[in-house]
Amino acid sequence: MATVRIPSLKALHALEATARHRSLTKAPDELNVTVAAVSRQLKTLERDFGVRLFRRRGGELQVAGLLEAGLEDLRTGFEQVILGVKKMRKYGTHRPLTIAVEPSFATTWLLRRLPQFSDAHPDINVRLETSLRVVDLTRKRDIDLGIRYGGWRPSATHARRSALAHAVA
């Protein structure tokens, strides 16, 4: 497959929004940028493609033939990007807070206090992973924090009073 030089995605996004709204004032509002920023992006694309992308007819922008050829594909592509970002954000907000803890500490102290924490932070789901083994948090990426009771302190960790401790203290 031949390599195709792809213009700036920011410029292509400005192009797609301008074409969809057929307006140089509505597209910048959607993209949270200035009219001048969108105009610069469009001029860059016009230089890149070697043609004018829009023509003015009355108060409306008309899409040039070159743009018409790829506009639907651009729109579909940006819809897919938006869907992917939404999924990632949803995962990030619904992913549970995973705590590695010794079973005895979980049963004698932590489990009794979790309802208070849940009441104070209803948007945070807590998942406990109980084990007698110490978890290396630098390698075990699915665990957010480890709680150990006592004076044990390996060199690769640090201690800090957490939001959980504040909520239940």
Last residue of a domain, one of 87, 113, 134: 87
* Same structural domain, 39 and 56: yes
* Same structural domain, 82 and 104: no
Q: Which residue has the tokens 């009771």?
A: 149
Residue 27 lies in a domain: yes
* Same structural domain, 59 and 120: no
* Same structural domain, 101 and 79: no
The answer to whether 78 and 16 have CB atoms below 8 angstroms apart is yes
Which two structure tokens, joined as six digits, stand for 18? 């301008």
* Same structural domain, 25 and 47: yes
* Same structural domain, 118 and 100: yes
* Same structural domain, 164 and 101: yes
Which range of residues forms the domain containing residue 29?
A: 9-87
* Same structural domain, 123 and 151: yes
With residue 68 as reference, give the H or E element that holds it: helix 65-94
Q: What are the pLDDT tens digits along the chain (169 aa)? A: 678 888 999 999 999 999 998 888 899 999 999 999 999 999 999 999 888 899 888 877 888 887 788 889 999 999 999 888 887 777 656 678 889 999 998 998 899 999 999 888 887 889 999 988 877 777 777 788 888 766 555 555 555 555 444 444 4
Tell me the C-alpha distance between 89 and 76, whole Å. 20
7 contacts: CB under 8 Å, gap ≥ 6? 44, 45, 48
The answer to whether 54 and 68 have CB atoms below 8 angstroms apart is no
Last residue of a domain, one of 24, 55, 87: 87
* Same structural domain, 71 and 115: no
